[in-house]
Structure 1
């Protein structure tokens, strides 16, 4: 779902879990990021009432439509990995934002790396 927003009334119940980072123009999970995906899956298994929201992002290099599609591919990759790890699909909300929500405004590789991410938010489900 492109640019999905959780209602403002719900926003306060979401807690940032971690960001999963990606290489330039890639949507596959980097080897050094797999432990983050495993941690999300483990938390959700231990907390069956919890829900997860995963929001995909891209750095500003590339066209808006391309970055939107890339962020959607990143979200799909993480969603598929969570489902494969045993997380029920109905506990996962997704959003793809392309370059709409940059974390950093400098034109440097360290800054762009922060923008190439899937943000993971957890809700207690209460």
Structure 2
């Protein structure tokens, strides 16, 4: 009868785990760790930027609805009261919007997106 006891002997995996990694294996292990850290950092930045985007979108919508559109509506009513001709009103509105924006393309895009329905 053999008195072979498994508790006294280490398995091959345990022996390998006790020894420090060297050479190419160590480089590979460090690369995996650095890749994992980069991935975690990227995910963290993604979540932060997503939160910032929603914050800026809410701020943009609030400014648009609370300050910009009421002021422009008031000005457009004044322009409309000067002359009820539709074509001259559109031209005057566009000229007024172009004065407010530094770039004509931005002014045109803003007008088409937000102001075409206003009188």
TM-score (norm 2): 0.28
Q: Hey, which of these two has a bigger chunk of strand by percent? A: 1
TM-score by length of 1: 0.27
Higher-RCO chain (CA-CA 8 Å, sequence separation at least 6) = 1
Structure with greater Cα Rg = 2
